Amino acid sequence: MTNFYYPSGSIVHRLSAGVKLAALIIFGTLIFTVEDLAGLGFCGVFLVAFFCIAQIPLRVAYRQLKPALFLLLLIFIAQYFMVGFEIAVFVVVRFSILILAAGLVTVTTRVSEMVEAIEAGLRPLAKWVAIEKVSLAITLAIRFIPVLGEIVHEVRDAQKVRGMDRNIIAVLLPTIIRTLKMATEVAEALDARSFATLDRTRTDKQKL
Amino acid sequence: MISIDNVSVTLDSRSILSSISLNLEENRIGIIGQNGSGKSTFARLLNGLQLPSSGTVVVDNYDTKADGRKVRARVGFVFQNPDNQIVYPNVREDLAFGLKNIGYSKTEIEQKIEETLLEYDLEYLGDRLTHQLSGGEKQMVALLGVLIMRPNYVVMDEPTTLLDLRKKRVLMEHINELSQRVIMATHDLEQITHFDRVICIHNGKVYADGNPKEVISAYRNLCQK
């Protein structure tokens, strides 16, 4: 979700995020009722058709699967030794289709739309849950994954120069300090951008 | 107008700013001073990010202590590091964030984003991912995130520090063309030579205040000591 949105303006992109998430849940449930490779093949063709309708290039589709390849390999090896080759292939194909289906939702849905859908889903819990804060937390987590990656990279480089890149404490401590400092500044920025003043029951725009 | 009346700021029993009284009404005001002089704290006072320990800061008749929401709607703030200011992974979504917070409808938000991107010739950035932008582009997005809310004042805390010379020039060109009043804390003296007024802060007090030439000269002398 951090960097996968691929704009093409297709009909799949235009579907609401709630519909896509619901479809993903249904598809993800149904795929676990399929018991043979032919059935999985049908699900795969169905999914490929949606990738085509959404005009998603092959490389973008592959990018959805790539981070999970190592995990899929581990699952395959474990299944192969425990229950045999055929079931290992079946399980890995099923997981791959599921990951690609989730990938299709992320490449065709903006984070803001996804967050709005989650907000809508949480609305019945509004009495007990601060919905805007939950959705902002999700947004920030998505937004700051690459930033945190950059911080770790910079700290490791800095410690490498001092010959300490293998010392976990030497990398961890500056990373935590920088992250906390960044968190303070982000909180201030949210404040400066009127988040702390949010009250959706008012029409603030007129009052301002 | 922003009125600062006898403002002091004390943090952890350390005096950061002491007894500052100023009226800020010029279109372009520069804030200069050495590291740790208090200029960032001064800038943060202006939109209520920092509240005074004593005294008052009043923006267009709204006190930063009592009317923080209204003050922040009038005074936009651009931070030194745009990475900490950009909230959403996508530029268009990030620009929508502030507008959503003050209650604009989805249609109005989309319209305002298009208008703003077009106004600053930055349509090409609209669908880009924020973490893949260059430093200069990120700072422009951070600035647009503020400008889209149409504040009366834009306060900037060393906005060009992380930029190369070319990006600095481009950002400064945009800043110079803004219709809003700009108050900019900076170490880059060249950027403020054409400003209407420059204030030099030293040890938490106003050391010099007036036209850029005189104040910059006083600041240079101070740095020689």
Residue pLDDT, tens place only, A113-139: 888 888 888 888 888 888 888 888 888
With an 8 Å Cβ cutoff, is B85 touching chain A? Answer: yes
Q: Do A110 and B90 touch (CB under 8 A)?
A: yes
pLDDT at A208: 39
Nearest by CB to A204, which of B83, B102, B145?
A: B102
Superfamily of B2-224 according to CATH: P-loop containing nucleotide triphosphate hydrolases (3.40.50.300)
pLDDT at A192: 84
pLDDT at A12: 92
pLDDT at A196: 61
With an 8 Å Cβ cutoff, is B86 touching chain A? Answer: yes
Residues of chain A with pLDDT under 70: 1-4, 196-208
pLDDT at B217: 94
Distance CA B101, CA A198 (A): 6
- What is the mean pLDDT of the segment spanning B119-138? 86
Tokens of A131: 């919905």
Q: How far away is chain B from the Cα of A149, in angstroms, using its nearest Cα?
A: 11
Distances (CA, A) of B167 to A99, B172, B173: 40, 8, 10
Q: Which neighbouring-strand residues pair with B85?
A: none
pLDDT at A205: 42
pLDDT at A118: 84
**How confident is the model over B130-187, as pLDDT tens digits?**
888 888 888 889 988 988 988 999 999 988 887 788 888 888 888 888 889 999 999 9
Which has more confidence, A167 or B189?
Answer: B189
Q: Is the pLDDT of residue B197 over 80?
A: yes
Residues in A closer than 8 angstroms to B102, CB to CB, are: 194, 197, 204-205, 208
pLDDT at B26: 94
Distance CA B145, CA B92 (A): 10
pLDDT at A190: 87
pLDDT at A4: 67
Residues in B closer than 8 angstroms to A182, CB to CB, are: 83-84
With an 8 Å Cβ cutoff, is A16 touching chain B? Answer: no
Which has more confidence, A194 or B94?
Answer: B94
Q: Do A7 and B127 touch (CB under 8 A)?
A: yes
pLDDT at A197: 52
Residue of A nearest to B96 (CA): A112
With an 8 Å Cβ cutoff, is B88 touching chain A? Answer: yes
What H or E segment, with its residue span, contains residue B56?
Answer: strand B54-59
pLDDT at A189: 87
Residue of A nearest to B83 (CA): A147
**How confident is the model over B21-36, as pLDDT tens digits?**
999 999 999 999 999 8
Q: For the packed helices B135-147 and B165-177, what is the interaxial angle rounded to 10 degrees?
A: 10
- What is the mean pLDDT of the segment spanning B89-118? 88
Distance CA B204, CA B186 (A): 16
